[in-house]
Structure 1
């Protein structure tokens, strides 16, 4: 898939407002990655950059400027690519390109890697004023608004139970920095730790983040023992306690993921 003329025109217009110096013959190369967004690389000033075109912003309702500033903090600590420019009106994000460095994905080790990386992410210190607090019931309500009445009704029972779980469990311990979308493909390097696609980052519940990562990577919770054990070992916690809390977050994860996909699919083509 090559870039359309319209999209290239938008990118060039956005980049002309950025601090980068580019020419009209700049080449945008589509990255071979699985993503909701269209992601390209391009060259400027002898460096490679990534440029993303987001899907319909009203669907996600994300605070992109806040995410931009938070990622700058993470990048200054070496945990993320440095963001360079954002244009919310056009839904365009630009950041420095970081190649995948030392992560070799082996099925037998993937779970351990995921658990260890989650544990390390949850210990990152960042200015709390830069990070939004996740509010799942409000997020669910926003996704519901994109669905028909009949589609909404089939979710009501689960949302009632999920809201109860959220209110009882989400703040049983202090919130931590959560990625909330950690697929193995988002881990570019482990030593040092570098992770991409931080658009759902938030102050959240560590067990919801673990449950989300397990779900995103299509690991049945009943078979996610290595994720749990690696996480618990890294932080000196009880593996059984971690498993129990992650299991308690399962419904919240299912609602969030299910509503996200249904709301996305309800967008006009």
Structure 2
């Protein structure tokens, strides 16, 4: 996405003044992130590069983030572009949980606490059809061995159907250590994939995204069970069901994202 088009739309909105500067900052694997500077303050701006692959109701997510801001756990969303392909929100000065001067066990304990807190939030979030997204990712990805991917989808689909509406809570679905800001209170970034879903899918996603080994996963499950007043054994068993579903989702998303990145570089 051209920065000039972003600047032109922001100027036309008359919400940010007439002197604007966009500075790239470290972001995700596909979406681009910027610090938007005006005459008086800074904002965070993020582009959405996969809209054409997975149609997403950005307006609903914008309203959902407003609700989460009111609950004190999210930056304030300020502006959603006309095409719903970029968003501006408040800039939060912070140290991320990843960069915090804490031990590994302390980081995992706090991560479990944040995840448990998210799962207890009231929300108007909508559910998602993950098997539909799998097919969208697969169609967008430049992969061979279609039969291999279809077999994985067919193997995971019954477990997703059986568990999706069980233990259903607000799920972040992308709770990386760098998405947790050690502010007071803690603020969480990147609600792009938030939805209603099975709590153990979100827990397994958190473990995968943060590249946890077996020991770290065990700690995460232990602390999550403790903070959520759940049986540690049940948490472990339910996560075992979710790990293949999460891995399939992650693999297909990565394949689709790699294709988008390659195409944008080639063009």
| Alignment TM-score, normalising by the size of structure 1 | 0.89
- CA spacing shift, 1:190–1:47, aligned 2, 3 Å: closer
Give the corresponding residue for 1:198. Answer: 191
Give the corresponding residue for 1:3. Answer: none
Give the corresponding residue for 1:12. Answer: 7
Is the contact between residue 114 and residue 184 of structure 1 (CA under 8 Å) also seen in structure 2?
yes
Q: Which runs of 5+ in 1 are unaligned?
A: 1-5
1:40 is paired with a residue of what secondary structure? Answer: strand
2:21 is paired with a residue of what secondary structure? Answer: coil
Once the two structures are overlaid, the 10-residue window that deviates more, 146-155 or 239-248, is 146-155
Please state if 1:136 is matched with 2:130. yes
Give the alignment of 1:76-155 within 5 angstroms. 76-89=70-83, 91-100=85-94, 103=97, 104=100, 106=102, 107-126=104-123, 128=124, 131-147=125-141, 150-155=144-149
Q: Which runs of 4+ in 1 moved over 6 A?
A: none
**CA distance in structure 2 between the aligned counterparts of 1:202 and 1:217, rounded to whole angstroms:** 20
2:73 is paired with a residue of what secondary structure? Answer: coil
2:30 is paired with a residue of what secondary structure? Answer: coil
Once the two structures are overlaid, the 10-residue window that deviates more, 79-88 or 179-188, is 79-88
Q: Which runs of 5+ in 2 are unaligned?
A: none
- CA spacing shift, 1:51–1:252, aligned 2, 3 Å: same
Please state if 1:165 is matched with 2:162. no
2:2 is paired with a residue of what secondary structure? Answer: helix
Please state if 1:27 is matched with 2:21. yes
Paired positions, count = 259
Give the Å deviation of 1:102.
7.8
- CA spacing shift, 1:264–1:110, aligned 2, 3 Å: same
Give the Å deviation of 1:18.
3.0
